[in-house]
């Protein structure tokens, strides 16, 4: 016996991803990376806004003691104050700096939230399709992720979610704008979800937390805004990051916010701060925290992604694909022609196009295309998309 | 039921730390932070070497696509190659870039190693006194930390460690130079430990991994060097960071190295890379990885800490304290005069001096003083140290 049996299971369970990435890597090695049209990764291709490197340079030039030292595990006070202001505006409740914890990206925020609330044997519900990492995040802390199929238009199915709640239910995760579907939940759906969770918390005798993972909040199109979540449910924890806002996913900077009236209140925030420390994050990266304090509102221009969405969707529709345009994010989630997602992903690979089969998100029969790529990639891939449809 | 019962237990178990920090914060609020002599934190007070901000500026100035994007979960190839060279020299074995994983500090490195090897119910041995976070790190992944008292001079007690090994033993953690004792393990001790673990692995039928946590490797005094660990034991994982080398603990950048001949070999490294992803770290911060690739060997001048050590130890000895000078790190671990560590820490607090009681490291009867502070703090505290001894 060498490595952990559980990590071995997890590795074998995600072997299809490895297989897919290996197929992609093989194609790139064979044909040259520039000949392969890679729509498989959620890795923004935009450069960060010019104010980002400017701000980093300004911070480096300043005389500040302990500039790169440890700080409180929750993060710099200055940063948390700036974030609290943004979060208050977005969530339509008054959030103080003590309800903000700076984190190692949204992934860190999700993990400290789950570590602070989960007991062994708990379940965490998520509308399906869902971002595949959630399964691991729940599992990290001894709980099981339970996907609940979404309603039409990929809105959360409140009745189905309500039916899935039992005494083991510790949390519901939502992700709007959604990866992989691009759906943005309506304020109505959020309000209904809040009412349902309020009722179910009373019935089950435990506070069911709503964890709202919002890294795509600022990438929405056609005049849409993302409704506040905390306004509609007290026991909400928001998790987000600057990965997409500033196109800096590799820097691992994000935050968690705890609703000021959440059950457990200060204890919950304290538990999340302890989790930030003991999970080995310790604190969010210092320089990025200092930058974040000064870059609130300096978000990527969503119009750039809107144009890419339309370039891709126009082309695909012209080629004969059936699809619904995403209201936000940089993902298009469309039915796999022929119905078999893996088979169609293989057809696309023959055209040197990389996509992700929907089964990776709990939705076989769909494929996900990330359009955070150069326009040339979208244009260059069109003949291949056409050919795959006819194959 | 709101927050997790387990996190509540963990919080209440570490309430003495909170109490201590609150006492410190209260003193600072009452008397002014500059009037309080804080020896409680392992937070380097030195500025990073000038080449650190220079390197960050140079990277910001360069035209690199996807400069702050996601990369492979293991980290940039260029960075891993540079680290592999350093690690090979330090460990006296040939380590390739595929055996290096860039991490969110040494805390991240420890957690991905433990996640990859631990099964529920396993134990992890550690020579005591020990860095208190290890208990949480083992617990995060369902295992129990078992402290084993050290031998004289705080060398590991190989016989006692051997006696503590059973079928549940998945790993032994060592930390040399040691926090809190400042001890540097002899090459002899490392070699004996390796031989013992080899034998015990055969006996128990499982590979017992040695996790060597080495963030203080470059902070040693009086011409000492830290012996290689991998040279003496195949199943070794090294965890370390740039926190102390470059005085940038807040930036959360470090690495893990897997011995090229470790049992489970590639699978172990793959498991650790998966753990890096699914624990929510995803990857080590991008900009810091790029800097690390260029700053190998650019370590802090240990002579600065040697002088601080001697300033502190000379003063304390003159005042009548009994102590042994640490061979490395920036910690002095000395018997609490009177024998009661908590009582003596309180006496020091009356003199506006903050120290950590040894029970926090599994060693009641000692106190830890961090001398990574300004010389003025050391000099200014001397009358208080004298008064506390007479109190």
In a domain, A162, yes or no: yes
Query: Which residues, 6 or more positions from B154, have their beta carbon under 8 angstroms from its beta carbon?
Result: B127, B129, B178, B181, B183, B333
**For range A38-62, the mean pLDDT:** 94
Question: What's the order of all strands across the beta sheet hosting B366-370?
Answer: B331-335, B366-370, B356-357
Instruction: Choose the closest CB to B280 out of A10, A107, A282.
Output: A107
The answer to whether residue A12 scores a pLDDT higher than 90 is no
Scan for tokens 């969405």, then name that residue.
Answer: A309
Dist. CA B159–CA B174, nearest whole Å: 15
Using CA coordinates, name the residue in chain B closest to A1.
B206
The answer to whether residue A264 scores a pLDDT higher than 90 is no
pLDDT for A42: 87
In a domain, B66, yes or no: no
**For range B277-293, the mean pLDDT:** 97
Dist. CA B317–CA B139, nearest whole Å: 39
pLDDT for A2: 81
pTM: 0.97
Cβ distance of A56 and B53 shorter than 8 Å: no
pLDDT for A365: 97
Do A290 and A316 fall into the same domain?
no
Q: Taking Cα atoms as reference points, which of A137, A88, A76, A85 lies closest to residue A112?
A: A137
Inter-residue contact B239 to B116 (CB < 8 Å): no
Do A176 and A199 fall into the same domain?
yes
Inter-residue contact A193 to A234 (CB < 8 Å): no
The answer to whether residue B343 scores a pLDDT higher than 80 is yes
Dist. CA B52–CA B151, nearest whole Å: 39
Tens of pLDDT, residue by residue over B151-161, are: 999 999 999 99
Burial readout B193-214 (b: 16 or more C-beta within 10 A, e: otherwise)? bbebbeebbeeeebbbbbbbbb
Tens of pLDDT, residue by residue over A269-299, are: 999 999 999 999 999 999 999 999 999 999 9
Do A287 and A367 fall into the same domain?
no
User: CA of A76, closest CA in chain B: separation in Å?
Assistant: 11
In a domain, A55, yes or no: no
Inter-residue contact A96 to A259 (CB < 8 Å): no
Bridge partners, A237 (sequence order)? A211, A258
Cβ distance of B264 and A3 shorter than 8 Å: yes
Domain end point (choices A294, A319, A339): A294
Question: Could you write out the DSSP letters of every residue in B276-323?
Answer: HHHTT--SS-HHHHHHHHH-TT----HHHHHHHHHHHHHHHHHHT---
The answer to whether residue B16 scores a pLDDT higher than 80 is no
> Which region among A9-18, A183-192, B307-316, B356-365 has the lowest average model confidence (pLDDT)?
A9-18
Handedness of CA B329, B12, A114, A269 (dihedral sign): negative
Handedness of CA A311, A315, A317, A322 (dihedral sign): negative
**For range B253-280, the mean pLDDT:** 96
Do B285 and B306 fall into the same domain?
no
CA distances, B33 to each of A69, B25, B30, B357 (Å) = 17, 8, 8, 21
Do A20 and A73 fall into the same domain?
no
Domain end point (choices B243, B259, B294): B294
Cβ distance of A3 and B108 shorter than 8 Å: no
Ramachandran category for residue A322: left, alpha or beta (phi over 0 → left; psi -120 to 50 → alpha):
beta
Helices (H), chain B: 5-13, 15-31, 51-61, 77-91, 105-117, 133-140, 158-164, 187-204, 265-278, 286-294, 302-319, 341-350, 375-390
Return the ∠ at Cα A235 (arms to A233 and A237), rounded to 5°. 100
> Which region among A20-29, A329-338, B181-190, B374-383 has the lowest average model confidence (pLDDT)?
A20-29
Chain B residues in contact with A213 (beta carbon < 8 A): none
User: CA of A375, closest CA in chain B: separation in Å?
Assistant: 15
Describe the crossing of helices A265-278 and B133-140 by its angle, rounded to 10 degrees. 100
**For range A333-347, the mean pLDDT:** 97
User: CA of B52, closest CA in chain A: separation in Å?
Assistant: 10
In a domain, A40, yes or no: yes
Do A20 and A156 fall into the same domain?
no
Cβ distance of A4 and B116 shorter than 8 Å: yes
Host domain of residue A206? 66-294
Domain end point (choices A239, A268, A294): A294
Find the CATH number of the domain harbouring A322: 3.90.1150.10
pLDDT for B21: 76
Find the CATH number of the domain harbouring B247: 3.40.640.10
Chain B residues in contact with A282 (beta carbon < 8 A): 104-105, 107, 249, 252
Dist. CA A366–CA B121, nearest whole Å: 41
Tens of pLDDT, residue by residue over B56-82, are: 999 999 999 889 999 999 999 999 999
Chain A residues in contact with B13 (beta carbon < 8 A): none
Cβ distance of B287 and A247 shorter than 8 Å: no
How high is the ipTM of this complex? 0.96
> Which region among A3-12, A119-128, A309-318 has the lowest average model confidence (pLDDT)?
A3-12
In a domain, A189, yes or no: yes
pLDDT for A391: 82
In a domain, B260, yes or no: yes
pLDDT for A265: 82
Residue B147 phi, psi dihedral angles, 5° rounding: -75, 140
In a domain, A54, yes or no: no
Average pLDDT, chain B: 96
Strand ranges in A187-252 using DSSP code E only, listed in sequence order: 209-213, 236-241
What would the 3-class secondary structure string for B202-235 be? HHHCCCCEEEEECCCCCCECCCCCCCCCHHHCCC
Residue of A53, A69, A376 to mutate when probing chain B, most B C-beta within 10 A: A69
Inter-residue contact B191 to B232 (CB < 8 Å): yes
Do B169 and B316 fall into the same domain?
no
pLDDT for B117: 97
A-B interface: how many C-beta pairs under 8 angstroms? 232
Do B256 and B326 fall into the same domain?
no
Tens of pLDDT, residue by residue over B308-341, are: 999 999 999 999 999 999 999 999 999 999 999 9
Cis status of the peptide bond prior to A145, with omega within 30 of 0? no
Q: What percent of chain B has pLDDT over 70?
A: 99
Scan for tokens 């995040």, then name that residue.
Answer: A137
Do B126 and B205 fall into the same domain?
yes
Dist. CA A147–CA A209, nearest whole Å: 16
Instruction: Choose the closest CB to B250 out of A70, A105, A251.
Output: A70
Dist. CA B222–CA A4, nearest whole Å: 41
In a domain, A311, yes or no: yes
Inter-residue contact B359 to B385 (CB < 8 Å): no
Inter-residue contact B284 to B74 (CB < 8 Å): no
Count Cβ atoms within 10 A of the Cβ of residue B335 and give its class: 0-12 exposed, 13-18 middle, 19 or more buried. Answer: middle
Tens of pLDDT, residue by residue over A119-172, are: 999 999 999 999 999 999 999 999 999 999 999 999 999 999 999 999 999 999
Q: Give the pLDDT band (50/70/90) at residue A16.
A: confident
Dist. CA A2–CA B269, nearest whole Å: 12
Do B339 and B363 fall into the same domain?
yes
Tens of pLDDT, residue by residue over B95-112, are: 999 999 999 999 999 999
Instruction: Choose the closest CB to B271 out of A7, A117, A270.
Output: A7
Q: Taking Cα atoms as reference points, which of B358, B348, B332 lies closest to residue B42?
A: B332
**For range A323-337, the mean pLDDT:** 98
Q: Taking Cα atoms as reference points, which of A319, A23, A283, A325 lies closest to residue A181?
A: A325
Dist. CA A247–CA B66, nearest whole Å: 9
Chain A residues in contact with B5 (beta carbon < 8 A): 119
Number of domain units in chain A: 2
Do B166 and B274 fall into the same domain?
yes
pLDDT for A1: 63
Which DSSP state fits A249?
A: G
Average pLDDT, chain A: 96
Dist. CA A365–CA A376, nearest whole Å: 27
Token pair for residue B142?
């369902």
CA distances, B311 to each of B320, B356, B372, B378, B383 (Å) = 14, 19, 12, 7, 14
Cβ distance of A5 and B119 shorter than 8 Å: yes
Dist. CA A265–CA A270, nearest whole Å: 9
Scan for tokens 């001398």, then name that residue.
Answer: B371
Cβ distance of A264 and B48 shorter than 8 Å: no
Q: What percent of chain B has pLDDT over 90?
A: 91
The answer to whether residue B247 scores a pLDDT higher than 70 is yes
Describe the crossing of helices B133-140 and B105-117 by its angle, rounded to 10 degrees. 40
Bridge partners, B103 (sequence order)? B254
Scan for tokens 């994983």, then name that residue.
Answer: B101
**For range B119-133, the mean pLDDT:** 96
Beta strands B236-241 and B254-258, pairing class: antiparallel
Using CA coordinates, name the residue in chain B closest to A60.
B53
pLDDT for B1: 63
The answer to whether residue B45 scores a pLDDT higher than 90 is no
Token pair for residue A338?
């022929």
Do B125 and B243 fall into the same domain?
yes
**For range B225-248, the mean pLDDT:** 97
């Amino acid at each position: 016996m060498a490595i952990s049996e559980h990590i071995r299971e997890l590795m074998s369970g995600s072997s299809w991803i490895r297989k897919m990435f290996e197929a992609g890597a093989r194609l790139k090695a064979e044909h040259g990376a520039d000949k392969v049209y890679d729509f498989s990764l959620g890795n923004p291709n935009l450069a960060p806004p010019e104010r980002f490197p400017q701000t980093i340079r300004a911070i480096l030039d300043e005389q500040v003691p302990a500039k790169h030292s440890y700080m409180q595990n929750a993060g710099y006070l200055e940063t948390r104050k700036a974030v609290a202001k943004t979060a208050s505006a977005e969530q339509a409740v008054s959030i103080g700096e003590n309800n903000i914890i700076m984190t190692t990206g949204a992934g860190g925020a999700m993990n400290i939230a789950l570590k602070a609330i989960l007991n062994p044997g708990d379940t965490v519900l998520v509308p399906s399709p869902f971002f595949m990492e959630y399964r691991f995040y729940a599992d990290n802390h001894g709980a099981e992720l339970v996907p609940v199929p979404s309603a039409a238009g990929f809105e959360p199915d409140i009745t189905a979610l309500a039916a899935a709640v039992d005494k083991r239910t510790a949390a519901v995760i939502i992700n709007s704008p959604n990866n992989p579907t691009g759906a943005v939940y309506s304020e109505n759906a959020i309000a209904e979800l809040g009412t349902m969770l309020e009722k179910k918390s009373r019935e089950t005798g435990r506070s069911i937390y709503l964890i709202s993972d919002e890294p795509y909040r600022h990438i929405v199109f056609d005049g849409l805004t993302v409704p506040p979540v905390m306004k509609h449910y007290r026991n909400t924890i928001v998790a987000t990051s600057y990965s997409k806002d500033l196109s800096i996913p590799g820097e691992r900077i994000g935050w968690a916010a705890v609703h000021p009236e959440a059950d457990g209140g200060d204890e919950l925030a304290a538990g999340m701060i302890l989790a930030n420390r003991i999970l080995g994050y310790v604190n969010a990266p210092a320089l990025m925290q200092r930058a974040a304090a000064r870059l609130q509102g300096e978000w990527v221009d969503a119009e750039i992604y809107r144009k890419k969405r339309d370039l891709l969707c126009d082309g695909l529709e012209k080629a004969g694909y059936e699809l619904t345009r995403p209201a936000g994010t940089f993902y298009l989630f469309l039915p796999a022609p022929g119905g078999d997602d893996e088979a169609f992903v293989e057809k696309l690979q023959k055209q040197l196009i990389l996509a992700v089969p929907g089964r990776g998100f709990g939705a076989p029969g769909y494929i996900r295309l990330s359009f955070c790529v150069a326009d040339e990639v979208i244009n260059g891939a069109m003949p291949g998309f056409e050919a795959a449809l006819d194959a």
